[in-house]
Structure 1
Amino acid sequence: MAQAQSDTKRSGGPEEGESLTSTLPMREGWWRPFFLVQGCWLTPQAAKSVELVQAQFQPRSDDIILATFPKCGTTWLKALAFTIANRSRHTVTSHGHPLLTNHPQDLVPFLEIHGRALHPVEELEALPSPRLLSTHLPYALLPSNTSALGCRVVYLCREPKDVLVSTWHYINKVRRDFFIELDKAFEFFCEGVSLYGPIWEHYLGYWKQSMIEPNRILFLKYDELMADPSKHVKMLAEFLRVPFTDVEVNTGVVEEVVRLCSFENLKGVTDRIGGLPMENSSFFRSAKVGD
């Protein structure tokens, strides 16, 4: 991060009509200039999104926020949480289950920009409580009253080397007019300059708060979830306040949730994501630990 700070440039003072980013520290990023917002590196689009979320989003006390650094199992966590929280409405073994025809990214909306458009506030307001929402924001950039209202947060982290490799493949696949060499991406990543980075600050923000409020923030690790998904599915159900009954456990519902949300099953969904110009397969590459 010291190198990142030494390379940081500051633009001049703000004038009427200048954009938000004109007053922020800036440096070269993976595919465009990145700007430093309260210690977090963002693209201009993401920085504007953060501003809108903080100004317009109205949390509810029973909101559940799924938080991740990009490429840390976001899609898998959304699938698991959606399936667990909605299993009274959508039987896990049903042939009409939403996960069989919809991408998890569409079933659990982001607070901030997802692709090219900001979810209208009205769209989030229309969701029934308890809302299941998602974000890549670091803890420090969450709307301030999420903590005061007691909104629960599920955080999933992943081995940083796997995050780097996954991000590199993803960016080079979805941005067809762009390519970044792995060595350059590695250099940026180690300096903390990646979207929503530095990754260690992102992890630490949620981890430290989970130590203070373990009943409000559930901190999970991707490799442990991969090693024993059934254990973590039950843990997640308890945290979401929809624990599995003895009957469900004895009849294999936990294992059915794991199967429905498996990498192999999710990768088979062919729908595009909210009309965005990227294939569903862009979100599923290998799902391996130590890749």
Structure 2
Amino acid sequence: MDEQEASEENKLSQDYKELIISLPREKGWITPYLYLFQGFWHSSTEIQAISTFQNHFQAKDSDIVVASVPKSGTTWLKALTFAIVKRQYFPSLENHPLLVFNPHELVPPFEFVIYDETNWQVHELPKMPEPRLFGTHVPFTSLAKSIKESNSKIIYICRNLFDTFISTWAFVNKIMPEFFPALPLEEAFERYCKGIIGFGPSWNHILGYWRESIARPEKVLFLKYEDIKEDVVFNVKKIAEFLGYPFTEEEESSGAIKNIIKLCSFENMKELKVNKCGTMGKGRVVENKHFFRKAEIGDWVNYLSPSMVEKLSKIIEEKLSGSDLSFRVYDLNNCT
């Protein structure tokens, strides 16, 4: 057992150490290993946090959960959701919380903050002002039962899997511990194609929320990153209506929607001091600047070979077959 693996093990209670030993494992991206838990790949500390979340979280009907596969536009959607839902408390954008707090602080994730092994017992969830806003990368099937059974709302965002893969790979290499070697693109790609990635397989993650959005459209709003980028105004209004906080005609005419879009834009948020110098997380601390890379659609063409694109395209086609879910078709000749 190497030093990093031992460090991860020390964060676990004895019960979870015994559970982890019993699970299938594969080489991890950031942590030494990922373990197959409830059909998805997670680090050992994530499994403990998810289990604690499942056993202890009591949802309220007014709760809002922003869910996603990692690196799918999560930070942007959290910012938009907070600005939309809390706009009555912060009508002026001059002293808005998003100017001094990273979106992940305002919409804290269950598995990395709320139920982090060093934090969850003192996090006063009942005292959080309503509506409570939470984030998560946890698959739908692994959400706390109280979320599924309550009238709480879930907004889910996904992104084409080519860009998601590249964004994840770049993010991992930025936050990798200094003593850990960089993860080669080819090695990461092979693991990704096998579904071995944190909270993956990504296609199963996406399908879980997609199917629930079809079965219960009043419960889950399913969004695509590319669609929001294409028409931000339409989608901001769509999110507001779904959550029960629609914009009035007066708000629209006064520019409230455009102001929120500008506040939450990649260009604006990337330049804020908190997102240049701040950090997020308790167990694994991540610099906020790493959550803001390019926010571009199609950047994958600068990294993936035609054979890689062909391989991943076939996997996606096979995995999404029969679901009526699709992503935009790409011209393989545009790859370098």
Shift of 1:188: 0.6
Output the TM-score relative to the length of structure 1. 0.90
Deviations 1:187-207 (A, max 9, x none): 111100000000000000000
Contact map agreement 1:270 1:280 (CA 8 A) in 2: no
Contact map agreement 2:154 2:219 (CA 8 A) in 1: yes
Mapped to 1, the partners of 2:243 and 2:48 lie a distance apart of: 31
Counterpart secondary structure, 1:219: strand
Could you say which residue in structure 1 is the equivalent of 2:267?
264
Contact map agreement 1:63 1:151 (CA 8 A) in 2: yes
Whether 1:273 aligns to 2:279 is: yes
What is the 5 A alignment of 1:137-286? 137-175=138-176, 176-178=178-180, 179-271=182-274, 272-274=278-280, 277-286=285-294
Contact map agreement 1:230 1:255 (CA 8 A) in 2: yes
Could you say which residue in structure 1 is the equivalent of 2:58?
58
Shift of 1:57: 1.2
Shift of 1:17: 8.3
Aligned AA for 2:294? S
**CA RMSD, aligned part only?**
1.9
Mapped to 2, the partners of 1:126 and 1:253 lie a distance apart of: 29
Mapped to 2, the partners of 1:96 and 1:185 lie a distance apart of: 42
Moved more, 167-176 or 194-203: 167-176
Deviations 1:144-164 (A, max 9, x none): 121211221000000111011
Mapped to 2, the partners of 1:269 and 1:230 lie a distance apart of: 23
Contact map agreement 1:20 1:48 (CA 8 A) in 2: no
What is the 5 A alignment of 1:116-127? 117-118=116-117, 119-120=119-120, 122-127=123-128
The answer for unaligned runs of 5 or more in structure 1 is 1-14
Percent identity between matched residues is: 38
Bigger RCO of structures 1 and 2 (CA < 8 A, at least 6 apart): 1
Contact map agreement 1:152 1:217 (CA 8 A) in 2: yes
Output the TM-score relative to the length of structure 2. 0.78
Mapped to 1, the partners of 2:237 and 2:260 lie a distance apart of: 10
Deviating beyond 3 angstroms after TM superposition, the runs of 4 or more aligned structure 1 residues are: 15-18, 114-119, 274-278
Mapped to 2, the partners of 1:130 and 1:77 lie a distance apart of: 16
Shift of 1:114: 4.1
Mapped to 2, the partners of 1:289 and 1:174 lie a distance apart of: 22
Shift of 1:275: 6.7
